[in-house]
Structure 1
Amino acid sequence: MSNPTFNLLSFSGKMKILHMTWLAFFISFVVWFSHAPLMLAIGKTLNLTDSQIKTILILNVALTIPARIAIGILVDKFGPKRTYSLLLGLGSIPCFMFAFAESFEQLALARFLLGFIGAGFVIGIRMVGEWFPARQIGIAEGVYGGWGNFGSAAASGALPLIALLFGGDEGWRYAVASTGIIALVYAFIYYFSVSDTPQGSTYFKPKKSGAMEVTGVGDLIFYIGMTIPLYATLSLLTWKLSPAGVNMLPGNIAYTIHAFIWVLFLYNVHKIIQVNKDHVFQPVEEIHRYKFKQVTILNLSYLITFGSELAVVSMLPLFFFNTFHETQGVTMVQAGLLGGSFAFMNMVARPGGGWFSDRFGRKLSLTIVTAGVLIGFLCMSQINSSWPVSWAVGVTLACSFFVQAGCGAVYAMVPLIKRRMTGQIAGMVGAYGNVGGVVFLTVLSFVTPAEFFLAIGAVAFFVLIAVQFIDEPKGHMAEVLEDGTIEMIEVN
């Protein structure tokens, strides 16, 4: 994955930006998932019930969906340097709140707010897109996403050891707080070490903020329709916290939150129309047009790739334990290690998916990885207690490879749609990944693991069909400079 112009061992120019930015993403994920490996100790210290622990896990992802949309708007408007630095700095505050919480309510509030730092991924997509040409954008975004995503695995391995070093029942507090300190320090390091664009390049900003610009009435309707699942997922999360779910929220408060979510949806629709009303009903020059279907198909592709990853990583250790404990003596610790193998592929597969996309085409790569996801989950649905554990792990790793490579292939295309809106597009696509995770985990609560894997495979089949309608990026995309002249940016 290195050549004369893309050398991962280089720490100058665009490669320095890549390394600084994936490390920012890595730290944000360490902070975001700092609670996961320490939940047993946290629960013991604060006498949490199983229901309260499940609530903490749900709250960890609740804010990430709207946060990715909001961060996408902010990064397009203010630039990735300022936005990433501010996110890491502010993200340290709820991290410290969580570390020194004395009650479940304080824990819950801090964990809910920490979901915002999970949106940091969106920022780096715009930053890397500014620095790398189209022929290298896939592998660059893949390295950024794959290596940064490994922060969750690093947290799982390192934080229990740090807690042990501090010792005692309160060791987890100092382990979590240490991640906040790292984020706060790196916020300043990042701000003074990077720039939004190479010297002499223009950072293009949307003409209006608050919503994406589209270039046709049909795309406007499409855009509004694609926002509905985002709000529906927030309502689903509220339902899970209501008396019908884990019973954290009283019924009247849950109803109030439902109402607020859909009022917010109506406001979002208003902003979408407001941003687009002056130009969408007028003919738009061909060089300035883009098809919103591109965004829609990438949304669905990330739903099936990253969405399935979020869901499967959450359930896989327990699945391996329940399947192989009695027949082959797999312990809970071993099951945890086996389950972690699904996320481990990120380091290689995500850059690999991006590299393949650069080399052989965006549409072809999305087709191959989505077909691989479909076949992989169909195979996983056949795993049972009579299988050798090694076979089950092999099938899991193969499926994981296509899932992670798919994430790389999706974001190899995101920066090639419309440069000035890369952050917003990345935010919406990323939010759909979280939608997939929530929906698939909800399905799991009603069906067996085998049926769960089959359900993911069924969705992958429909996404595979949708991918056939995506257009391969060709030629150039046009952006307007401040003086009115047009700059053409190569996309293939």
Structure 2
Amino acid sequence: MTDEEAKTGSRVTAYTALIVAMLAMAVCFMSWSNFAPLAAQISKMFGLSVSEKTLLLATPVLLGAIMRIPIGILSDKYGGKKVYIILMIFILIPLFMITKIHTYGMLLVAALFVGMAGTSFAVGVSYASAWFPAEKQGMALGIVGMGNMGNAIAALTLPRISASHGFNSVYHFLMILTVIAIVVFAIFCKEMPTHREKTFASAFSVAKESSTWYLSLFYFLTFGLFVSFSNLTPTFLGDSFGINAVTAGLYAALFAAVCTIIRPIGGTIADKRRPMSMLQWVFVFIAIFALVIMFSFNSQTLFVIGLVGIGLAAGIGNGVIFKMVPYVSKGNTGAVTGFVGALGALGGFFPPLVVGWIKQWTGSYQIGVFLLVLMAVLCYYVLWRRFIHGDVHIVK
């Protein structure tokens, strides 16, 4: 085999791994976000209050956040292909459970377990990053991160499937997609280089790196926005403007699509520019568009403008932040991804709960959205103090 043939084969392996990892993540994210597009229907089926509904939406995010850390470490140690396949097999269990459940308590249990689908992000980033050099990490991780599109696909498809074929058909559909993803991954992807000598103690050493925690804080805001608004948009639109579930799902899909499609663009630009300088503007625009949303609950047009704007800002931020992840601790990309991804996913867990509680107490969503403005200002201050005017640089 010539050098050129070897390089071509290597490129085919790398891009096959990248595309399949992205598609598998999209399937997993459809399961992870399955309750949001169906929130109105589930609320009627189980007679849920606003706080009970937002708790249900937040519950899958919890396990998906916490388990990203060990799952990312396992991917580095044993290989992303193996871990991805085992993960998808596990997801089939709660999807099947949901079709047999008749109580809210058991629905919460199934929602917790289906949250494991959210850990697919840690596996996908660890697996995809192993095939690309440092100068292409922003592009590669931006592309694999487009698996977040599963939220948009779920918002577009699941309400329609439920309306035309029944509630249980949604979960039969998700199980079929998951099985297809397992088969494709098993047949077409090679295993990544692994670090069998690595222990959990050594992998957790990334927690000693201050950069791990700063990136986690920033991702708490940007990815937390993606998860929160993907889940809350149908509820906002239904409660504030009386929009039906299918149409509300279209708006939620619009937000998720904008946030996801722009992500690799953010990562690619960060390959060429200083990422931390880009994040300044991300936080500024998040604060601005959050204020737009805050004052838009009497204007559907203004709400959609704010939704699209905040999706663009958060999506670029997600791509920029993950450009920096492989630089924090060489050989521990999965572990750093786990930490950063876990905090980011927790950013999607708490807001729906807080917004639901505030809505129930005050009758308004505006105070909850204002907390988002304050979070963006906090992140801007930390970025300015530590990285812009400080001497810390993750990417030189």
TM-score (norm 2): 0.84
Cα 1:442–1:163 shift into 2, 3 Å: closer
Q: Offset at 1:81? A: 0.8
Alignment correspondent of 1:64? 64
Alignment correspondent of 1:402? 313
Q: 1:176 aligns with which of 171, 174, 189?
A: 171
Alignment correspondent of 1:422? 333
Letter in 2 for 1:432: L
Alignment correspondent of 2:267? 354
Cα 1:355–1:43 shift into 2, 3 Å: same
Alignment correspondent of 1:262? none
Alignment correspondent of 1:274? none
What does 1:16-415 correspond to in 2, within 5 Å?
Answer: 16-39=16-39, 47-51=45-49, 53-146=53-146, 148-163=147-162, 167=165, 171-197=166-192, 202-204=193-195, 207-210=198-201, 212-214=203-205, 223=207, 292-320=209-237, 323=240, 334-383=247-296, 385=298, 387=299, 389-415=300-326
Letter in 1 for 2:260: M
C-alpha contact 1:205 1:420 (8 A) present in aligned 2: no
Cα 1:210–1:182 shift into 2, 3 Å: farther
C-alpha contact 2:293 2:302 (8 A) present in aligned 1: no
Secondary structure of the residue aligned to 1:177 is helix
Secondary structure of the residue aligned to 2:205 is coil
- Cα deviations by residue, 1:254-308 (Å, 9 ceiling, x for unpaired): xxxxxxxxxxxxxxxxxxxxxxxxxxxxxxxxxxxxx711111100001111112
Q: Offset at 1:400? A: 1.5
Q: Offset at 1:100? A: 2.9
- Cα deviations by residue, 1:198-250 (Å, 9 ceiling, x for unpaired): xxxx53456321563438xxxxxxx4xxxxxxxxxxxxxxxxxxxxxxxxxxx
Secondary structure of the residue aligned to 1:419 is coil
Structure with greater helix percent:
2
Cα 1:306–1:72 shift into 2, 3 Å: same
Letter in 1 for 2:232: M
Letter in 2 for 1:176: Y
Distance in 1 between residues matched to 2:233 and 2:110, nearest whole Å: 27
C-alpha contact 2:32 2:61 (8 A) present in aligned 1: no
Give the total of aligned pairs.
Answer: 375
Cα 1:332–1:71 shift into 2, 3 Å: closer
Cα 1:450–1:106 shift into 2, 3 Å: closer
Letter in 1 for 2:286: V
- Cα deviations by residue, 1:163-192 (Å, 9 ceiling, x for unpaired): 455x3xxx3213302312321342232133
Q: Which has the higher contact order (CA 8 A, sep 6+)?
A: 2
Structure 2 gaps, min length 5: 1-10
Distance in 2 between residues matched to 1:335 and 1:173, nearest whole Å: 21
Distance in 2 between residues matched to 1:336 and 1:213, nearest whole Å: 39
Distance in 1 between residues matched to 2:295 and 2:340, nearest whole Å: 30
Work out which of the two has the higher radius of gyration on C-alpha atoms and give 1 or 2: 1
TM-score (norm 1): 0.69
Letter in 2 for 1:159: L
Secondary structure of the residue aligned to 1:190 is helix
Alignment correspondent of 2:370? 454
